[in-house]
Structure 1
Amino acid sequence: MTDAHAAGILPCQTIESLIAQEAITSQTPFDRDQVQPASLDLRLGVRCWRVRASFLPGVSRRVPDRLKDVAMHELDLSKGAVLEKGCVYIAEIQERLALPANVAARGNPKSSTGRVDVFVRLLSDHSKAFDDIEAGYEGPLYIEIAPQTFSVLVRAGTRLNQLRLKLGDPVKLAIRSVGVDLTPGETGIVGFRGRRHAGVVDLDHEDGHDPRDFWEPLETRHGELLLDPGEFYILASKDDVEIPVMEAAEMTPIDPSVGEFRVHYAGFFDPGFGTEEAGAVGSKGVLEVRSHETPFLLEDGQTVARLVYEPLTERPARLYGEGGSHYQRQGLKLSKHFKAWR
């Protein structure tokens, strides 16, 4: 990899090349489907700690140095463990980085993680910020996990977040507003609100949970929805989302001055999402929304987030959804852990 390449997001074939060069290694063999069109899924390791506070190590310390100050007890994820809502955990990631000097990285929750209201952030040694990994970083990775609405069952190998790698400093190609859809469809449902006293969500069990045990359907007749403080909502974007094959995008929250709410989790969109070329015209963006201290009346079409588009260094060898996906061609949709709403 040389400076002659244009700046941009690295596609799957380049990520696989970095793995082959051992710039990305793992404690266990990589899974066949771990590399996405423009991102790499990260997997939990065996060790996890319940901590009394979130933290950043700072430039002079490693994550284990700070863990000594805040760890309450250690969990063994080899047999699985329940992470309780309202608690904060730090877990080891199986993957380790030895990045080239001109390659940086950024972590983000996977779509399925955000849709069950599990707040996760990537940590690295000597870091001054969550999720951002400096170019040339060499060392281990960790993840902060904070379930908000549901307690969750995880294991070593569970994938909660993903890594996007960047060559140089890519330009932002476009920034597009994302509005919310509060127009009832055939079902009359415009969204879902998480139930506060539900059971445990097994994050490795797809289509294995009855959604009615965890979610309350929401209806509206006037194109408005009152967001209650502290509640968690699943809504859909007003317009379809399309990510061209030579671009990737990240969904970012809007300025809080626009309203007392926010899209709770930023999200990566891989190249080909919602495109005709990938056979998926008509894919919505799913929004995880939380109100702040005061109730807020949300209106149909109101801007709730923005999509920031960046270029890829080259066309990816495969597009989003080509090998199968839970979220290509999606409308309003809960995470893959739940059976279809009927």
Structure 2
Amino acid sequence: MTIGVLPDTMIQAMIARGEISAEPAIIPEQIQPASLDLRLGRVAYRVRASFLAGKGQRVETRLEDFEMHRMDLADGAVLEKGCVYLVPLMESLSLAEGVTAVANAKSSTGRLDLLTRLITDAGTEFDRIPEGYQGPLYAEICPRSFSVLVRPGMRLNQIRFRAGQAVLSDAELKILHQQEPLVDGPAVIDEGLGFSVDLRPESGDLVGYRAKPHSGVIDLDRIAHYPASDFWEEVRSDDGRIILDPGAFYILVSREAVTIPPDHAAEMAPYLAMVGEFRVHYAGFFDPGFGHGAAGGAGSRGVLEVRCHEAPFALEHGQIVGRLVYERMAEEPRQLYGAGIASNYQGQGLKLAKHFRMG
């Protein structure tokens, strides 16, 4: 098998071979250019703590130690802010040797501060699946800012498959940047492509949004339904600096517009653990074609989901807060991000999740 991230055509072949199975069957809308959306099953378990199965153990068995109560999702159920839930997914895997997988929250999930992680039988870390894994998949869900209404079949996280080592070295990344600019300015390349925060917008002083601490339930099926002002406070700055409050969740935007070439994919990762007492909520894969051919041809900016931790922290315009780790594709996907697949965030700037409407 060719080394790289497996594209949509190869994911379809895995489904046909039974390496990815589901009940009910996988639908075409789940297949993205370089990943597969995963669907919630029919039941959610409220658990008293987050957990991993651990070597040689099954999630189903460990659940007996942590379950508080279970909820039928068939008619919709509310996952409450601050609580931890475990939801069996409709999909299961039978991976071939040499193929590994990694999961991540979908963009809209991250923008709702909805912590969603994949766990597996015998798993010793979140969101990582070793070659040869055979078994069920589970989503651990912890709403951090808003309570949410969920139903079976909702897609909160996604999985990406890899054959071999696909990550580009810094030297390879520099060559790729020379061939096709990956960013609309100087490229800071250090274990990936660094990106910084934009706190000096071209017009006005709106630099981000902060989640309100007390708000209503969000039905994840409702698109452009909720007034943003009911859930978010505007964050403004006239000097290129904001103070992050401990525990608060912010939506900001990168200063750089980035491009993912059609034969590559990328994943957002933290920059340095000690860069400050905050974390960029790296809830996303960047699919092949993100920012490629976007309006103006200068890429798309990345939305940053930021949470401050121990103490108030002064965040400055242009401060590097994260990095994009680029990976080669095993082959170019049949369909690119934004090219007729209802991509919500192509050509984006500062933008909330698709569930909100402005004004």
Tell me which amino acid in the other structure corresponds to 1:264: H
Q: Say if 2:3 and 2:162, in contact at 8 Å, map to a contact too.
A: yes
- Are 2:300 and 1:304 aligned? no
Tell me which amino acid in the other structure corresponds to 1:257: M
Structure 2 counterpart of 1:256: 273
Q: Say if 2:294 and 2:300, in contact at 8 Å, map to a contact too.
A: no
- Are 2:243 and 1:247 aligned? no
Tell me which amino acid in the other structure corresponds to 1:208: H
CA distance in 2, matches of 1:279, 1:205: 31
Structure 2 counterpart of 1:52: 48
CA distance in 2, matches of 1:87, 1:60: 27
Tell me which amino acid in the other structure corresponds to 1:198: S
CA distance in 2, matches of 1:171, 1:230: 33
Of all paired residues, the percent bearing the same amino acid is 53
Q: Deviations over 1:33-77 (max 9, x none)?
A: 110000000000001100001111111110001000000000111
Q: CA deviation at 1:271?
A: 0.3
Structure 2 counterpart of 1:338: 356
Q: Which TM-score applies when normalising by structure 2?
A: 0.91
Q: Deviations over 1:130-154 (max 9, x none)?
A: 1000111111000100000100111
CA distance in 1, matches of 2:241, 2:148: 31
SS at match of 1:93: strand
Q: CA deviation at 1:99?
A: 1.0
Give the unaligned 5+ runs of structure 1. Answer: none
- Give 1:287's match in structure 2, choosing from 276, 301, 304: 304
- Give 2:240's match in structure 1, choosing from 210, 213, 223: 223
CA distance in 2, matches of 1:171, 1:310: 4
Q: CA deviation at 1:20?
A: 1.2
Q: Which TM-score applies when normalising by structure 1?
A: 0.96
Q: CA deviation at 1:187?
A: 4.5
Tell me which amino acid in the other structure corresponds to 1:37: P
- Give 1:83's match in structure 2, choosing from 79, 88, 96: 79
- Give 1:109's match in structure 2, choosing from 95, 105, 112: 105
Q: CA deviation at 1:184?
A: 3.0
Q: Say if 2:167 and 2:325, in contact at 8 Å, map to a contact too.
A: no
CA distance in 2, matches of 1:306, 1:205: 32
CA distance in 1, matches of 2:284, 2:26: 23
Tell me which amino acid in the other structure corresponds to 1:300: H
How is 1:60-79 mapped onto 2 (pairs within 5 angstroms)? Answer: 60-79=56-75
Q: CA deviation at 1:171?
A: 3.4
Q: CA deviation at 1:253?
A: 1.2
Q: Say if 1:263 and 1:290, in contact at 8 Å, map to a contact too.
A: yes
Give the unaligned 5+ runs of structure 2. Answer: 174-191
SS at match of 2:12: helix
How is 1:1-342 mapped onto 2 (pairs within 5 angstroms)? Answer: 5-173=1-169, 174=173, 175-276=192-293, 281-323=298-340, 324-339=342-357, 341-342=358-359
- Give me the CA root mean square deviation: 1.4
Q: CA deviation at 1:278?
A: 9.4
Q: Say if 1:82 and 1:151, in contact at 8 Å, map to a contact too.
A: yes
